[in-house]
Structure 1
Amino acid sequence: MEKISASKLLAGLVPADFIREEVQVELVTTDSREVRSGCIFVAFPGEKFDGHDFAAKALENGAVYVVVNHPVEGVPAEKAILCPDSYHAMMVMGANYRSQYHPKMVGVTGSVGKTTTKQMTYAALAGFGETIKTEGNQNNELGMPRTLMRLESSTEYAVIEMGMSHAGEIDRLARAARPDVGIITCIGVSHIGNLGSQENICKAKLEICNGLPEGAPLVLNYDDKFLRAAKLPAHVKPVWFSLADENADVCALSIRQEEDGMSFVLEDQEEGTFVVKIPAMGKHNVANALAAYCAATRLGCDPRGVIKGLSNFEQTGRRQKVVHSKGVTVIEDCYNANPDSMKAALAMFKEFPCKRRFALLGDMLELGKLSREAHEELGRLAAESDLYCLVTYGENAKRTAVVAAAKGVKTLHANNYREAADALLNRIEPGDALLVKASRGMALEKVLEIFYAEQKDAEE
């Protein structure tokens, strides 16, 4: 964060005459351990700690102001920015800070693939100038302002991920970030328990348009029936990508899965035809790469440079991370899961070259009334994926196991991480491959910790 005057940063949060002596702010933090001279401390109430308990100490340690939801003992009124919602305060400050800079910015949302698409867009743009991106899962009303506050005068490109669980959230994020290009990867069923239908999810994702300027490109999935049917605002210019349909602005043909990724022919109605290779497996990642390509090229970047950048793409966390362990290939894809991403992962795994295919699948969370049907459908998909053995974990995944077993798949349901690891350790051999996928809350990495450690012990 570069220095910014308090009056500019706090505009809209305090009356015009509140700041009597202008000061420069060089940090906004919600962590009392980070407090230093020239910072603003934002107090958040929490389950274990209440940031308001640290507000007075933050001033002692050099904070110029503290944002609080209510008056706090030891915090003088002239140092307290009263705001009943700390998230709102972060969003206002993030928007104010962002307004001081003019990078070319891409906003990324969608039900599935937005983090991978963010990473691919970053890879596509990084070769053209100094680029920042959302780190980790900082895609909400706390994390996104933090990302915006990493902008500097030298920043030429920024890739901002926008997540949501309720209507209105993308609207607030997009108005604060004001991207030059928007991407909507697809419309799935994540958070359908909150929004009620995929049509409503589509409307919520389209809120990104509220932050786009007149004539801005909006990159959309031509293969998604909800996006195709959506009524788009007149001020955006749709750029459609597809995995097969040559009527789209950009499409992929001759798609091939290779041992270390995907290759395909990219046809761009504006720029021509190119051969592309990406170090990520599955057709869903080809779609993500097309979205990133569309955004970067419509910002004016040379297609060949964009494609070179895509070839250097790197996954983050446990998103389709390939690990070779004692002759077994493990595809760690346990950062998150929903019906669409599960379907894509199994389709990829079915084509993966190996001796035998094992899968460890856990619960998909936040599906509301669709949960039972979705987990049973997952069992049917698993049965069609040439699995040698399926191990399931989680209450909802029991339904997946029952359906898969009924269709002839060798299936075991584990009641804990130890049982899941043992089920794999007792059966898997060198030359086999293992796909691990579930919602983040299932913490399947704990199974992998046991699996890797005991593979090693067995060898020793």
Structure 2
Amino acid sequence: MVNMTLKEIVEVVDGSFGFPSDIEVSSVCTDTRAIKAGCVFIALKGENFDGHDFAAQATELGAEAVITERPIENAKCIVVDSTRRALLNLACHYRNKFEIPLIGVTGSVGKTSTKEMIASVLSQGYKTLKTEGNHNNEIGLPLTLFEIEKDTQAAVIEMGMNHFGEISRLSLCACPTIAVITNIGFSHIENLGTQEGILKAKMEILDGCSYDAPLVINGDDKLLANVTPRGGRRTVSYSMSKKSCDVYASNIKTDGGVITLDINSKAGVTPVTINCYGEHNIKNALAAFAVGLELGMSTEDMAKGIAAFKPDGMRQNIQQRNGITMIIDCYNAAPDSMKAGISVLSQVNVAEGGRRIAVIADMLEMGKMAPKLHKMVGEALGVSTTDMIFCYGENAKYFIEGAVKKGFDKDKCFHFETREELTEAVKAEVKPGDAVWFKGSRGMKLEEVVDAL
């Protein structure tokens, strides 16, 4: 972070402070474990914690000041009405010190992998900051913005949400110069009511954009394809096949863990290679290519960035363990991401006699639509090359119902009430040569099944 003075910070957060204010601050933190000398500590309150309880400790550890909602004994407090609002306002002020391209990315599913693909492309021409991990909320996003340095040339910032208004606050903080919406699915439909409600919430990403910031959209998404942003804002569309879109794919070929295709755009035809499984990554590449075009990047650099992309963490991380191919995708789950995972499982090569096995759990926050959406995923499994289905959770039985409807062998489907029962069954069944896909919402903790294997 580039240093700010306490006086500057006090003015931005509209706080009161009774100490010398010409002192320079070198970082902002919300966790006492991350405190360094010369930082400002912001005391946030959550369901299970209150940062005010650590304000005095933060001062002892070297914080130049703590931003609080009330005076704290033995702490150098900048008192504000809301520490959460202060964090967003201060991050927005800091972000606007830098005239750099900032790409805001949101969507029901795929926003993290799309963010990673865009960052991989931009890194070929810019020193690029990106959101790390799941820091896409009203705490993580502003803390990411404080990582912008003097030599940062671009940033790719992910924006997540559960309710109306959240994307708006994130966008007004980050001020994107390009906005990207990957799709409109069913994630958080329990809170947002309908897909139209989800679209409305995602379109809030434009609230913090300047009038000339383009909106990059997935032209294959039925809701996004027909969207008309207010004020005549320019849209840039991408598609797996539609020649009417600004960027579209053709000549797609898959060979195990490698996908080749041509990307068609105003720059001509660009051959690219994606070095990972999953046809959904084609859409990620198209989105990244569209962003690169907006920034005037060369097609050669964009192709290099796409080829360099690798998924990691618990998101379609493919590992070999004891002769078993593990496709670990336990971070989150929604119908579209489940279907993407089925595509990956179908592409993975298995040894002679090996089987493709789906180990799946409930998709959470689906509300009243849960049975229908789980059945929809089951139908996709039913017409895939999957050989066996192991699942657990309240709604997981609908996976089996959908699969059997499409002709899947009922004797190859197994439903369990608990994760422990699932674990024992999978351990007893899986053998070297098999490919096993693990997918479920984060709260289902399927990674514990992975660890048991």
Q: Amino acid of the residue matched to residue 340 of structure 2?
A: A
Matched, 1:329 2:315: no
How far apart are residue 181 of structure 1 and its match? 1.0
Matched, 1:184 2:186: no
Matched, 1:26 2:26: yes
Moved more, 188-197 or 42-51: 42-51
Question: Partner of 1:287: helix, strand, or coil?
Answer: helix
In 1, distance between residues paired with 2:83 and 2:370? 33
Q: Is the 8 A contact 1:209 1:233 kept in 2?
A: no
What aligned pairs does 1:146-185 form with structure 2 within 5 A after superposition? 146-185=143-182
In 2, distance between residues paired with 1:84 and 1:367? 35
Q: Is the 8 A contact 1:32 1:58 kept in 2?
A: yes
Q: Which of 411, 431, 434 in structure 1 is aligned with 2:433?
A: 431
Unaligned stretches of 5+ in structure 2? Answer: none
Matched, 1:133 2:126: no
Unaligned stretches of 5+ in structure 1? Answer: 452-460
Question: Partner of 1:370: helix, strand, or coil?
Answer: helix
Equivalent position of 2:103 in the other structure: 106
Moved more, 425-434 or 301-310: 425-434
Moved more, 20-29 or 301-310: 20-29
Q: Is the 8 A contact 1:8 1:96 kept in 2?
A: no
Q: 1:249-299 CA distances to partner (integer Å, 9 max, x unpaired)?
A: 00011222221132111111x100011111222221100111011112211
In 2, distance between residues paired with 1:163 and 1:72? 33
Q: Is the 8 A contact 2:17 2:79 kept in 1?
A: no
Aligned length: 447
- Assess, with a 3 A threshold, how the Cα gap between structure 1 residues 259 and 10 changes in structure 2: closer, same or farther: farther
Q: Is the 8 A contact 2:248 2:286 kept in 1?
A: yes
- Assess, with a 3 A threshold, how the Cα gap between structure 1 residues 64 and 235 changes in structure 2: closer, same or farther: farther
How far apart are residue 84 of structure 1 and its match? 4.0
Matched, 1:85 2:82: yes
Equivalent position of 1:315 in the other structure: 311
Equivalent position of 1:456 in the other structure: none
Q: 1:27-73 CA distances to partner (integer Å, 9 max, x unpaired)?
A: 11111233333211111234554221121232233322211123334
Equivalent position of 2:52 in the other structure: 52
What aligned pairs does 1:265-280 form with structure 2 within 5 A after superposition? 265-268=262-265, 270-280=266-276
Q: Is the 8 A contact 1:7 1:19 kept in 2?
A: no
Q: 1:276-324 CA distances to partner (integer Å, 9 max, x unpaired)?
A: 1112222211001110111122111111101101101121311111112
Matched, 1:115 2:117: no
Q: Is the 8 A contact 1:193 1:366 kept in 2?
A: yes
Q: Amino acid of the residue matched to residue 234 of structure 2?
A: K
Matched, 1:210 2:212: no
How far apart are residue 398 of structure 1 and its match? 2.7
What aligned pairs does 1:291-302 form with structure 2 within 5 A after superposition? 291-302=287-298
Q: Which of 431, 444, 448 in structure 2 is aligned with 1:446?
A: 448
TM-score by length of 1: 0.92
How far apart are residue 403 of structure 1 and its match? 4.2
Q: Is the 8 A contact 1:216 1:235 kept in 2?
A: no
Q: Is the 8 A contact 1:220 1:239 kept in 2?
A: yes
- Assess, with a 3 A threshold, how the Cα gap between structure 1 residues 19 and 189 changes in structure 2: closer, same or farther: farther
Q: 1:331-388 CA distances to partner (integer Å, 9 max, x unpaired)?
A: 1111111011112222343344334211001010111111122122222222222321
Q: Amino acid of the residue matched to residue 29 of structure 2?
A: T
> Percent identity between the aligned chains?
40
Moved more, 59-68 or 196-205: 59-68
Q: Is the 8 A contact 1:365 1:439 kept in 2?
A: yes
In 1, distance between residues paired with 2:289 and 2:55? 45
Equivalent position of 1:389 in the other structure: 388
In 2, distance between residues paired with 1:364 and 1:207? 25
Equivalent position of 2:67 in the other structure: 67
Equivalent position of 1:97 in the other structure: 94
In 2, distance between residues paired with 1:100 and 1:29? 19
Q: Is the 8 A contact 2:182 2:217 kept in 1?
A: yes
Equivalent position of 2:234 in the other structure: 237
Moved more, 106-115 or 79-88: 79-88
Q: Amino acid of the residue matched to residue 11 of structure 2?
A: A
- Assess, with a 3 A threshold, how the Cα gap between structure 1 residues 74 and 235 changes in structure 2: closer, same or farther: farther
Q: Amino acid of the residue matched to residue 95 of structure 1?
A: C
Moved more, 397-406 or 120-129: 397-406
How far apart are residue 389 of structure 1 and its match? 0.8
Q: Is the 8 A contact 2:6 2:21 kept in 1?
A: no
Equivalent position of 1:340 in the other structure: 336
Q: Amino acid of the residue matched to residue 376 of structure 1?
A: K
Q: Is the 8 A contact 1:67 1:86 kept in 2?
A: yes
Q: Which of 255, 258, 261 in structure 1 is aligned with 2:255?
A: 258
- Assess, with a 3 A threshold, how the Cα gap between structure 1 residues 8 and 398 changes in structure 2: closer, same or farther: same
Equivalent position of 1:356 in the other structure: 355
Q: Is the 8 A contact 2:16 2:78 kept in 1?
A: no
What is the root-mean-square deviation of aligned Cα atoms in Å? 2.0
Q: 1:386-445 CA distances to partner (integer Å, 9 max, x unpaired)?
A: 321100022221332344356424111233344323323333333321111111111111
- Assess, with a 3 A threshold, how the Cα gap between structure 1 residues 344 and 427 changes in structure 2: closer, same or farther: same
Question: Partner of 1:426: helix, strand, or coil?
Answer: helix
